[in-house]
Amino acid sequence: MDQNYDTGKKVVIPCGVCVIMDYYGEEDQVLELPRGLEVLGTLTFPNNYRLTIETPFIIVQGTLRMAATGRVSDTPIVEVKLTGTEEVTFLPIENNSEACGGGRCSVGTQPIVVAGGKVVLLGIASTCKTWVRLVDVVSVPSPEVPYTLNYETPAVLDPSHANPLCRRYDPYVNDNFDAGTTPSLWTGGDGASYDWSRGFLRVSERKDALKDAPTLDLQNIRDCLIADQTYLFSARIRLRNSNTEAGPRTPCADDGYGCLTLQATTVHTNSRTGIRKGREFPSDAFVYNAWEDFYASFTFSADEIDSNAVYQLFRLGGPSSDVDIDVDDVSFGLPPPFLYPDPTDVCGGNLIMNGDAGASPIHPFPISSKNGKLRVIASRSGNRFFRLMQRSDDTDSIQYDLVAPQCIRTRSQYSVRARLRFLANGKTVNSNMMVRVFFNDGTFTTIKAATCTNDNKGWEECKGKFMVIDEFESNTIETVRIFFRTEGAPNVSMDVVDWDMRVSRPAKSGILVPSEGVADCWDEGAQIALTSHTLDLNDAQVRQLVSAPVQLGDGTARLELDDAITFPVSEMQDKDFAVEVVLLNRNIRFQGGTEQANRGGHFMVYHTPMVTQLIRGIEFRNFGQLGKPL
């Protein structure tokens, strides 16, 4: 614009004057016209000239030409932002001088008014299309890496560590107390008697419920410990009470007292910490004089790890002092790497780690349970499976939380399977495999993944497929839990093995459309909408192009979208009912302000009976004025 124009006042292009826009201001090319713009002569924007104008109004009584016919993205080439809050009036000229009773015309707030003038507004090339039919839904050549940045991974070990135990994933402690071994790091605590001559460790003559207990000195491995990393502890325990026969449950079952507890104690130079890492629960209470499995998963905080500590111990105590504690098959260490997703293919293969129960003879990690007593059981052939006993509700279940929950993506399809067996005395048990997705806003969605029927004749396969159709962002997922729910069989023990869940059909985030009018016109960043494929208009899907269209040479172009889509009807399925793909952006945008409630911008063309207006491919946002007569 000519430098003689003072943008601090209303800018008027006089009659008979032709102006070509050539404003060069700030780097982002924003022209502020706080007093408005009135065109009585001619104002022309060169094609694809990039500029943002902020003004309360534009009045055109002459000619305004804007052309922006380049590729369309999410950023307009020309944008007019209306900022006004006051009523606007203007004085008609020439043959319209009596249009408003010989005085000024009132056109409300935030107007773009063509009054007796002419506009040529071209926001898209004449050869470009703004909607086409959907040809097909496809996968893009390089599937997007899922949002799985925060899943737990195996500990990173130091191969040059001075302690050879710290260089590998083998258990730090692996004691079966067989004859001929001398597990000298085990004691009976502060004063109890202990020996392992029977092929297991027995601690007897106890005086204190917690301190006189099987005690493991961690001195030779404490420099291996890593803060905030999962560790596994497991052992076979027998609580021996000479005053009772085998069978009765321990007092832990009655009131929660006297339960077996794994206590980690660290004595620093100037302080002492004692943290419970695992315990026997009332619902899972031991039986006297019988071997039971005990396991725990836990982490160490940075305060609990001190290579210079005076000493660091594990204690297995808690039962009353008249109870001998027998211990066998102790294992303590890091989970092996195969219990975590493959970092090169996080969402590939079976998403349920240790679904075959083969990782440990005792510890079910990372499988867990809601209530009941979960155990790893070995069959006569040596194969292992999970058993959940002491259920009291149909929702009590073996369950698994995905290590990488963001592998669940909306519109991906998943297949699930497991072998189930119910100990129901010959009765048929119906159950369902369920998937529950918890979001970080506290909400969740529950999906029936498979229906399982077991006639109690042995192992039955349960399998199915499901798709998450609810719209959500992958990075809003907090937990994905897979579990089983029985129907009318709350007290029946449940066996599960060969538990498998994997992606059977990845979410598709590519579509094919006719290339003519699209390939050379739509660009990276542009928003598109797929019209509803159902009778519900809310099933329309809005996505963004992550790259320019790719011509495939067969008359179609592939559009790569920023997220997957629900499979709509395409021409490949039905030419008569294929949905449309609509371009939502334009190169020229008129943006109404939001300063006043119910008062957006408005575009008016009037008193131009003999003038041809040309308006093509223009985007209007925040336009409309509720209850405001003009």
Same domain, 614 and 570: no
Query: Is the distance from CB of 116 to CB of 607 less than 8 angstroms?
Result: yes
Question: Is residue 415 a part of any domain in this protein?
Answer: yes
Same domain, 364 and 406: yes
Question: Is residue 342 a part of any domain in this protein?
Answer: no
Same domain, 449 and 381: yes
Question: Which residue, 540, 478, 569, 531, is CA-closest to 130?
Answer: 531
Task: State how far the alpha carbon of 66 is from the alpha carbons of 117, 480, 612, in Å.
Answer: 14, 52, 15
Question: Is residue 405 a part of any domain in this protein?
Answer: yes
Q: What CATH number is associated with residue 252?
A: 2.60.120.260
Mean pLDDT of the chain, nearest integer: 89
The values of phi and psi at residue 177, to 5°, are: 55, 30
Same domain, 564 and 600: no
Last residue in a domain, options 505, 521, 544: 505
List of the chain residues with pLDDT < 70: 1-7, 24-27, 141-149, 179-183, 246, 471, 473-474, 595-598, 627-630
Spell out where 546-591 has E strands: 550-551, 556-560, 580-583, 588-591
Same domain, 368 and 487: yes
Question: Is residue 357 a part of any domain in this protein?
Answer: yes
> Token pair for residue 362?
């005792």
Same domain, 420 and 290: no
pLDDT tens-digit series, residues 560-581: 998 778 778 999 999 999 999 9
In the prediction, which pLDDT does 629 show?
61
In the prediction, which pLDDT does 95 show?
76
Task: State how far the alpha carbon of 91 is from the alpha carbons of 97, 102, 106, 204, 447, in Å.
Answer: 8, 9, 9, 106, 65
Q: 84 - beta bridge partners?
A: none
pLDDT tens-digit series, residues 587-616: 999 999 875 666 789 999 988 888 899 999
Same domain, 182 and 329: yes
Same domain, 425 and 476: yes
Question: Is residue 158 a part of any domain in this protein?
Answer: no
In the prediction, which pLDDT does 518 show?
97
Burial class (CB in 10 A: 0-12, 13-18, 19+), 544: middle
The sheet that has 373-378: what strands, in order across it?
373-378, 384-389, 493-505, 413-423, 460-467
Same domain, 566 and 605: no
∠ CA 467-563-553, rounded to 5°: 110
Last residue in a domain, options 505, 529, 556: 505
The values of phi and psi at residue 248, to 5°, are: -65, 145
Q: 464 - beta bridge partners?
A: 416
Query: Is the distance from CB of 56 to CB of 110 less than 8 angstroms?
Result: yes
Burial class (CB in 10 A: 0-12, 13-18, 19+), 157: middle
pTM > 0.75: yes or no: no
pLDDT tens-digit series, residues 38-90: 999 999 999 999 999 999 999 999 999 999 999 999 999 999 999 988 899 99
Same domain, 325 and 409: no
Percent of the chain with pLDDT over 70: 93
Q: 619 - beta bridge partners?
A: 589
Same domain, 541 and 607: no
- Where in the sequence is the domain holding 576, given as residue range(s)? 131-143+508-583
Last residue in a domain, options 333, 359, 375: 333
Q: 416 - beta bridge partners?
A: 464, 501
Question: Is residue 235 a part of any domain in this protein?
Answer: yes
Same domain, 374 and 492: yes
Question: Is residue 605 a part of any domain in this protein?
Answer: yes
Count of structural domains, the chain: 4
Dist CA 450 CA 496 (whole Å): 14
DSSP 575: T
Residue 112: which region, alpha, beta or left (left: phi > 0; alpha: psi -120 to 50)? beta
Question: Is residue 3 a part of any domain in this protein?
Answer: no
**Tokens 């094609």 -> residue:** 47
Kind plus residue range of the DSSP H or E element containing 253: helix 252-255
Query: Is the distance from CB of 583 to CB of 514 less than 8 angstroms?
Result: no
